[in-house]
Structure 1
Amino acid sequence: MKYAIILFLSFFILISGVFGENVSVELTPNNISANVGDTINLDLVVKNIPSDKKCAGFETKIHYNTNLLNLTNIVLSNTSNTASLKTVDISKGKISLIWFNNPPYGNFTIATLSFKALKDGNDSVDLTQTSVSDANGVNYDITLKNSNITINPLNQTLGIIALKDFELNKNIDAVLSITGAKTPIKNISGIISFKNITIENNPTLIDIFCNNFSYVKHNNNISFFIIPNEKDENKTIFNLLKIPINVNDTNYNISVDLMINGEQIKNITIKTEEKHENISEYKGLAFYVDSGHNEKTNITFGHSKEIKLKVFNIDKNLTNISGYIFINNSLFDVSDYGIPEYSDIYNTINTSNITLNNNYLYLNISLINGTNGTFSILKFKISPKVDKNISSTIYLKNLSVYANNTKINLTVKNLTIDIVKRKTNHPPKLKMAYNIFNNNEVHFYALSYDEDNDDLKYIWNFGDGQNSTDENPIHRYSNYSTYKIKCTVKDPLNGTDEVVTIIELKKYYVVNYSFSKDSFLSDDNKNKTVYLNMTLRNPLTHNVNGYINFLDYKDYTPLKTQYNITLKPNETKKLIIPINVSKSCNINWNVVYYPAIKNNGKYNVEMGYYQWNFEKKIEFTSKPQVKVNNYTKIIKLNNTKVVLKVNKVKTVKNYVINKTITSSDNYMAPYYSFVSLFGFMIGLILIRFKIK
């Protein structure tokens, strides 16, 4: 018995030595909420590895709902990169690490997992087939902590043009992507205008296969029209177009007019995706400009440059960076300052405060969990105020950098900027385009080109006494008339070009419509079908390609979301469109006419299309409820005769009658009750059959 106890205690000590530690493998944060299209970053962390046994091996497989999420990247930490053997398979979500030398212990991060949120819903990212072994190859007993993910739907469709591996004067790709698209997608059309950017080759489709893809490339502008095939029309997130370009100057601009199913996409952003470099010779902070970390750059009057403040090759997790950058405001305008969205720290920011005050651009940034390596912490754009040869240095002062509670000393390289006086100037060239909405709202576009890549200013005269300095303004006219439109473009050295055209606005009645059923439908929990009877007319003097596009069809379902027709001048056509309605809603649709002749006979003016918007409210009403009137009267019976009088009615009605009879003569109560009940039944018969 004694030896059995000793053997048991020895076994217990052995087991506690291997498995007794509270070792856990966690995904953090363990609860996260994001929107469709967001990038979700999760840290894979190992905790409580004992210092005497350490961690010699790690393995896991990441399981997630592929309908909601897409694993786009796995970035190993500095600790994981010291492993002797490393295997990372993004397609399978698998990580395998083995340390032969200096195995880690305590708490440390294995990797950062990046996911793309594809659709709205709730699920979790789970760790499966996970094992952590000590230096003797014995597995720890581990606790797994997964991450719950909530993806919220977008209330709008987003468009993004990303400049991949951004560098000046290099051939790169501009990629147009769509997030949160309303499905099914029947057509996508748009105009993309590039300024200070050369289009190097034709655009190509990426994630969409289509039945029709047509485009026109003119100078630095591309217009396109796409009809996806049936397989791809239900995608909500996708890369649409890849356009090979060359960015000639930091003072570039991209404007986009994008429509999906005839509905204009208003939220479109332009971003650059930074090219990561291996710079082994420098560790610290420096200004990144002209595609590199430089201490000197040139700029001419009329141009702008984007400058980034970057951290290079830092092996500690930085949690706070503060200080200020001196920029001589008598020589430079400063604009577009902030933390770059493409930076590795953008999604790990705890707090940030970036302000401009005279000569000083102040920054104070704190990060969750910290970030190491090479990354941008700030961007800003400068433009010379003077046209002369002069130099100025921008520098970083009062720098304070922390890794948690430890202050870090980092070297800093300043940047000298030489302003170079202009020798020649080439005036800009201008082309005008416009679309007309609802007869009197005109969307104007200034399609300009400047050989010097100058910053350009625009002045619009709308012909009704109103003006605008926007590049692509929208103007609503109060009267239907003929207007002389003039757009003038000007560069910083007063080189100009202008376009003048005449537009005639008429109150066209192109659509006459009605619904075959009344807009009020009974609510009996059944879907209803209404029929939209529509007559289309072409009031123009040339042929049009017309499209009928249904919008926001969440609570109603048209047979098709888009109809296409061709109309000759003054021709009319009739359509009957069935629409399935599930509850009270607004049916929204538009009619778009693309004239066969669009440029008013002038090469530098182009008419795009007419569009008219319509809306009809469909309501469900509940069935009328039967109203029951309660009437109570106590009758004391003192004889055997009961008289019941019932008013005559002309309509059938159902009544509920309750009668309480009281009597002081107990022996007569059953008799009186029978007589009363008989009288009420006769009354009900008279009412039901309307006996007069």
Structure 2
Amino acid sequence: MKKLSLFLKLFLLSFLVVGVNYAENITVELTPNNTNTIVGDTINLDLFVKNIPNDTKCSGFETTLSYDSNLLNLTDIKLSDISNNADLKEADLSTGSIKIAWFSNEPSGNITIASLSFKTLNEATSPPATISLSSKTAVSNINGVGYNNITIINSNITINPLNQTVGIITINDFELNKNIDAVLSLNGAKIPIKNISGNIYFNNVSIENNPYPTGILCDEFRVYNLSNNQMSFYVVPNSKYENNTMFDFLKIPIIVNNSKYNISMDLMVNGKEIKNITVQTKETQENISNFVGLIFYVDDGYNENTNLSLGYSKEIKLKTYNINENLTNFSGYLYINNSLFEVNEYEISKYSTIYDKVNNSNITLNGDYLYFNISLNNGTNGTYSILKFKISPKTNINTTSKLFVGNLSIYSNYTKIELPTKNLTVNVIERGANMPPSAKIIMSMHNNKVVNFYALCYDADDSELNYEWDFGDGDYSTNQNPIHTYSNYTDYSVKLTVKDTLNASDEVKIIIPINKYNPLNYSLSESEIIGKDGENKTVFLKLNISNPLPYQVNAYVDFVEYADIGAPRNQYNFELNPNETKNMIIPINLSKTSTIKWNLAYYPLNKKMDNAELSYYTWSFDKKVKIVSSEKIDVIKYTKNISINSSKVIVNINRQKVPKTIVINKTIDLDYVEKSDIIYYCLISIVGFIAGLVVAKHIGAIF
């Protein structure tokens, strides 16, 4: 029966047989939702499922990632602890598919499914690259029934061009006195790449075998002047690879003989010297799959050693690992040498399994000790974060310090649990001369007065950067990418100052004009249509589009929120020269009262600015169309008073396009009428009646 149940759940998970409409506000989200990066960087995203009900839980999850493979490359899918504890799990790098099923200990609340790593391959700014979750993304409850109305939040990646070409030497599986490989790669290279040459110098490193090409095909490959501590090379990439902006191209078998080793390089691309050279190591991680206890989680995994330099910080998590008991209480301290490290942002991660189960928590820093006391409702088992914190060095000398857990007390309800812990050694690595960052301003304009500012910055030392914006109107911001609204139409002097952690800085100043542009006149053929909801009706949107900007633009008309309206296309694109005008008539189909919404976007062509770039202008418009019931007829009452010898004749006419009923009321006060005049007044009334019919008929003809 268990086997039958397993396949039944898989069937339900795959095909979402919906028996009950669970109208929960479940969200499947990629975070961060928006990221700014540069060509050649690795970006890390987390995949979350949020708001899973505590009573119906989650027994299954399935999605597929989609993205432009010319812009991004999916390099890793690292399942979370919750996903790794599932009964069935599958993550396919080649297809971007993730499938998880739990048959016991089903999770609820907010859970992390996986961490995803992408390599950025080429520039993508307008529009950015998008990493999307399949529209068939499924989350099922403990009965295998799919939740309805799942909200999916994708991630947009703005990939900016790299200001400099970077040469990288990566030492893989780093260990002293072992045969390992050093891999040479280019990052952010300016294309086309016709040849790569250079010299590599080694100190306390031995070359163990002949270097050979890797990652690309070469039309020519030469290594010469090869010795224990030096080598020269010349590489001509095959034409298939000459337009790649990043790739590995040379592998060197080596042995590192001493921890005080050094590798340096002279690198030329197309005969031009590349000054930005980086040497990095990747260490082999210990296999702790059978360990049960507490570990430190850093550098995207379990580590007992990590390197850190002045001006940088790292997030570290204290985690339980492979715990069988439902743990309810944690207390103790973490020793962190206060003379060497700053400690901040210490808290329980909101994405931890225990976040929604916390009954009480107290986390405080006092000198060398980060104290914690955490109690949970009901408790939980498995692998999860207890707390997280960030550390950054205070010194720029080579030194080592150990982080460890002390005075640890763990309970499962009233039963004390003894668990081993692993320590973390932090190596502070002295850094050389600091290189200042370089900055550039990217901006987009919205409805004339709203400006989205983006700080496109590069730091050769990869330092964390601080941003200071002066918008020129008395307002300021420290966000990397602020949005600012100006109040007046005039020119403003904007300044961006970027500082690294050692206070090296770069500054960019620009003048931006805030002008009252009116690029569009528009009208609708009808703003009210006679009909019924559900009947298809057509109105015509007339657009008169002009280019008030002093340069040529690529123009886009984009219809937004078009669920209730239908246009032949959702987007129209054309080029406009300065002062050029384009007229368009677009049929819009609708079946109920709706608001037509659209944006007009102008992307400048060949618009160059020093240290700045204008991405686009946008303006937003909307127009409501009402459908009026055909049963409704507006009646206009017309009253005319006619005095004849102090008596009154009142004629009421219902005015309408097709008169159906005409009512003429005649009132005669006999107190003022001689009996001999009755016949006369009757004749007058008949004449008035006939005149009223003639007028009504005439009015109907006009309408």
Q: 1:287 aligns with which of 288, 296, 304?
A: 296
Determine helix, strand or coil for the equivalent of 1:310: strand
Q: Give, in whole Å, the separation in 1 of the partners of 2:375 and 2:165.
A: 33
2:524 matches 1:527: no
Q: Give, in whole Å, the separation in 1 of the partners of 2:625 and 2:138.
A: 32
1:656-690 per-position Cα deviation (integer Å, ceiling 9, x unaligned): 9xxxxxxxxxxxxxxxxxxxxxxxxxxxxx99x96
Letter in 2 for 1:615: D
TM-score scaled by length of structure 1:
0.54
Q: 2:612 aligns with which of 600, 605, 608?
A: 605
- Return closer, same or farther for 1:124/1:540 CA change in 2, 3 Å cut-off: closer
- Return closer, same or farther for 1:329/1:352 CA change in 2, 3 Å cut-off: farther
Determine helix, strand or coil for the equivalent of 2:421: coil
Q: 1:37 aligns with which of 28, 36, 57?
A: 28
Residues 383-394 of structure 1 mapped to structure 2, 5 A cutoff: 383-385=392-394, 387=396, 394=403
Identity of aligned residues (%): 40
Alpha-carbon distance, 1:439 to partner: 1.7
Letter in 2 for 1:158: I
Alpha-carbon distance, 1:119 to partner: 5.7
- Return closer, same or farther for 1:410/1:464 CA change in 2, 3 Å cut-off: same
Alpha-carbon distance, 1:548 to partner: 0.6
Equivalent pair of 1:34/1:150 in contact (CA under 8 Å)? no
Equivalent pair of 1:586/1:617 in contact (CA under 8 Å)? yes
Q: Give, in whole Å, the separation in 2 of the partners of 1:515 and 1:620.
A: 14
Residues 336-355 of structure 1 mapped to structure 2, 5 A cutoff: 336-338=345-347, 345=353, 349-351=356-358
Q: Give, in whole Å, the separation in 1 of the partners of 2:137 and 2:623.
A: 31
2:154 matches 1:159: yes
2:605 matches 1:567: no
Task: Give the aligned partner of residue 387 of structure 2.
Answer: 378
Letter in 1 for 2:149: N
Equivalent pair of 2:405/2:421 in contact (CA under 8 Å)? yes
Q: Give, in whole Å, the separation in 1 of the partners of 2:62 and 2:86.
A: 29
- Return closer, same or farther for 1:408/1:148 CA change in 2, 3 Å cut-off: same
1:110-160 per-position Cα deviation (integer Å, ceiling 9, x unaligned): 9889999966999977xxxxxxxxxxxxxxxxxxx8344433353xx7333
Task: Give the aligned partner of residue 631 of structure 1.
Answer: none
Residues 607-646 of structure 1 mapped to structure 2, 5 A cutoff: 607-622=614-629, 624=632
Equivalent pair of 2:27/2:153 in contact (CA under 8 Å)? no
Q: Give, in whole Å, the separation in 2 of the partners of 1:298 and 1:122.
A: 40
- Return closer, same or farther for 1:64/1:507 CA change in 2, 3 Å cut-off: closer
Q: Give, in whole Å, the separation in 1 of the partners of 2:285 and 2:595.
A: 49
- Return closer, same or farther for 1:401/1:160 CA change in 2, 3 Å cut-off: farther
Q: Give, in whole Å, the separation in 2 of the partners of 1:398 and 1:548.
A: 65
- Return closer, same or farther for 1:362/1:283 CA change in 2, 3 Å cut-off: same
1:370-422 per-position Cα deviation (integer Å, ceiling 9, x unaligned): 332x4444332222345566766544345443446643211123445454554
Task: Give the aligned partner of residue 469 of structure 1.
Answer: 478
Determine helix, strand or coil for the equivalent of 1:432: strand
Residues 528-547 of structure 1 mapped to structure 2, 5 A cutoff: 528-547=537-556
Letter in 1 for 2:372: Y
Determine helix, strand or coil for the equivalent of 1:396: strand
Q: Give, in whole Å, the separation in 2 of the partners of 1:121 and 1:282.
A: 34
Worse overlay, 401-410 or 362-371: 362-371
The CA RMSD over aligned residues, in Å, is 5.4
Task: Give the aligned partner of residue 119 of structure 2.
Answer: none
Determine helix, strand or coil for the equivalent of 1:542: coil
Task: Give the aligned partner of residue 555 of structure 1.
Answer: 564
Determine helix, strand or coil for the equivalent of 2:154: strand
Q: 2:524 aligns with which of 508, 515, 526?
A: 515
2:147 matches 1:150: yes
Q: Which runs of 5+ in 2 are unaligned?
A: 2-7, 14-19, 30-48, 65-78, 89-96, 114-132, 169-186, 191-244, 249-283, 636-648, 664-688, 696-703
Alpha-carbon distance, 1:424 to partner: 2.0
Q: Which runs of 5+ in 1 are unaligned?
A: 1-17, 19-24, 46-61, 82-89, 96-107, 126-144, 162-175, 177-189, 201-216, 221-242, 247-274, 628-645, 657-685
Number of corresponding residues:
463
Alpha-carbon distance, 1:79 to partner: 12
Equivalent pair of 1:74/1:111 in contact (CA under 8 Å)? no
Letter in 2 for 1:357: T
Q: Give, in whole Å, the separation in 1 of the partners of 2:373 and 2:520.
A: 57
Task: Give the aligned partner of residue 497 of structure 2.
Answer: 488
Letter in 2 for 1:159: N
2:364 matches 1:364: no
Q: Give, in whole Å, the separation in 1 of the partners of 2:511 and 2:86.
A: 68
Residues 243-322 of structure 1 mapped to structure 2, 5 A cutoff: 278-280=287-289, 282-290=291-299, 293-318=302-327, 321-322=330-331
1:6-30 per-position Cα deviation (integer Å, ceiling 9, x unaligned): xxxxxxxxxxxx9xxxxxx9999x9
- Return closer, same or farther for 1:316/1:32 CA change in 2, 3 Å cut-off: farther
Q: Give, in whole Å, the separation in 2 of the partners of 1:391 and 1:365.
A: 33
Determine helix, strand or coil for the equivalent of 1:586: strand
Determine helix, strand or coil for the equivalent of 1:608: strand
Q: Give, in whole Å, the separation in 1 of the partners of 2:602 and 2:421.
A: 59
Letter in 2 for 1:366: L
- Return closer, same or farther for 1:158/1:109 CA change in 2, 3 Å cut-off: closer
